[in-house]
Structure 1
Amino acid sequence: MNLEKILSISGKPGLFALKVQTRSGFVAESLLDGKKITVGMRSNVSLLSEISMYTHNAEKPLAEVMRNIAIKEDNGPAISHKEDNDKLVAYFKEILPDYDSERVYPSDIKKVLNWYNMLQAKGLVSKEVPVKEEASVKEEVATSEE
């Protein structure tokens, strides 16, 4: 799952795919309706590849969390982000058992599940480990065994 060019833009609903960088910002395409918008440098933009979730020992990249959902759901859709908070927290504990419940709020869980379902509908989620990540995991294992 490659989240390198997927964006969340503050104040805009949904997710966007980065298309072209310009002098004054960039052009992004909505994953909801396919419309292209220009985004200035002053906009608050987050790359999904840079987002992590708090756990008790370290931070987990969003791509790993979404891969866990894809594995649980066999690449299918997750539960709706509109479920009640108790259901969402119980579901998220299955996905990421060691998440830090004091720093990860139900609103964060809703956002992750909403994003996952948007990406899943576009066929952008996968339970496969990307080749680049797989190589770095092998390096970490080799380093820790020494």
Structure 2
Amino acid sequence: MGLEKILSVAGKPGLYKLITQTRTGFVAESLLDGKRITVSLRSSVSVLSEIAIYTLEEEVPLREVFQKIQTKENGAKTSISHKDEKIKLEEYFFEVLPNYDEDRVYVSDIKKVIQWYNILSDSDIADFSSEKEETSDTSEEE
């Protein structure tokens, strides 16, 4: 399963797997405890495949940041906790993504990325490759 079906729901801890859509929203299952919740269409929901991290040059998709963490940690969980102090978190993130924009990426964002990576690692969701590989068919036709 890719990040296209993994959600972050505002006001709810952890991450959720999209199960099915309903008339008024959708049903999601927590990756932490397996409990199912119904989420209204009015809720603020983020799909992990749509999130990116600011760098000095561009925005890097979250899946690429997860791949860099996975490479750094040899596929294991992170060596630091999302609850560590600010300076440790910033140093760790600088090792993973050296050109991240320190003015636009806050410590709370770094905490979320580390926490989410560890949740995905615990849930055996470690395939951070894109399901929709970009093809350049249009450029070949020109």
For 1:60, the equivalent position in structure 2 comes to 60
How far off its partner does 1:126 sit?
Answer: 3.9
Deviation at 1:131, TM superposition (A): 6.7
- Using the size of structure 1 for normalisation, the TM-score is 0.87
Q: Deviations over 1:76-99 (max 9, x none)?
A: 001210111101100001100110
Matched length = 136
Aligned pairs for 1:13-52 within 5 A = 13-52=13-52
Task: State the alpha-carbon separation in 1 of the partners of residues 16 and 109 from structure 2.
Answer: 18
> Alpha carbons of 1:24 and 1:130: their partners in 2 closer, same or farther (altered >3 Å)?
closer
1:93 aligned residue: 94
Q: What SS does structure 1 have at the residue aligned with 2:4?
A: coil
Q: 1:103 is matched with which residue?
A: 104
Tell me the TM-score normalized by structure 2.
0.90
| Alpha carbons 1:82, 1:110 under 8 Å: kept | yes
Percent identity of equivalent pairs: 56
Q: Which amino acid aligns with 2:122?
A: A
Unaligned runs of 5+ in 2: none
- Please provide the CA RMSD for this pair: 1.7
Amino acid at match of 2:16: F
Q: Which residue of the partner structure matches residue 82 of structure 2?
A: 81
Flag structure 1 segments of 5+ consecutive residues without an equivalent: none
2:72 is matched with: 72
Instruction: Give the partner amino acid of 2:113.
Output: V
Q: Which structure shows the bigger proportion of residues in helix conformation?
A: 1
1:106-121 correspondence to structure 2 within 5 Å: 106-121=107-122
